[in-house]
Amino acid sequence: MTEFKFTRQNRAPRTVGVLICVYAALLALVILFDAAWWLMALLALPTLPAIWDIAQNTSAGLVLDQNKLRWFTGTREAEIDRSDIDYVRFDTRWDFSVRVSLILRSGKRIRLPDESSPHHRDFEQVLQQAGFRIERHHFVTF
């Protein structure tokens, strides 16, 4: 099996573009419609984590090789032996996002961080080629 690597940088043009649009809209509300600055500042608060990620330029990803599956996000990282994994479960949520869980032979479940996982269709193909059993569950609430 060839090694599979996936890496995602948080300083993406799409993220920067969305932030520019949000701040331009908030600024336009203040200038054109005389919106309360404190209310616009309150509306800008949810964007602070994205600004932090852009400033830090953190990355996330995973590596699948012959012996281990490793994943990382920011300063956190983890790894597990491939032999410990019983199967991989893909859960489609009601918002159509897909969560990936590793089900171990011991019965324990490890959820991979969303930012570390590649697109679920591509990842499923890689895992099947590596010999993992895949389970899909659609519209799982929790």
- One pLDDT digit (tens) per residue for the chain, 142 residues: 789 999 999 888 999 999 999 999 999 999 999 999 999 999 999 999 999 989 998 899 999 999 999 999 988 999 999 999 999 999 999 989 999 999 999 999 999 999 999 999 999 999 999 999 999 999 876 6
| Judgement on whether residues 37 and 84 belong to the same structural domain of the protein | no
For 111, the domain range is: 65-138
| Judgement on whether residues 49 and 75 belong to the same structural domain of the protein | no
| Judgement on whether residues 47 and 74 belong to the same structural domain of the protein | no
As a whole number of angstroms, the distance between CA 127 and CA 97 comes to: 19
| Judgement on whether residues 49 and 69 belong to the same structural domain of the protein | no
CATH number of domain containing 76: 2.30.29.30
HSE of 53 in the Cβ direction (CA atoms, 13 Å)? 19
Predicted structure pTM score: 0.80
Torsional sign, CA 92, 61, 66, 104: negative
| Judgement on whether residues 102 and 120 belong to the same structural domain of the protein | yes
- Say if residues 103 and 91 touch (Cβ distance below 8 Å): no
As a whole number of angstroms, the distance between CA 26 and CA 111 comes to: 36
Helix, strand, coil fractions of the chain, as percent rounded to 5: 40, 35, 25
DSSP SS3 for 48: helix
Q: Identify which of 1, 8, 2 has the alpha carbon closest to the alpha carbon of residue 117.
A: 8
Q: For the chain, how many structural domains are there in total?
A: 2
CA 82 to chain centre: 21
H-helix or E-strand containing 33? helix 13-33
Q: What is the pLDDT of residue 97?
A: 92
Residue 119, in any domain of the structure: yes
Q: Identify which of 51, 49, 48, 28 has the alpha carbon closest to the alpha carbon of residue 40.
A: 28
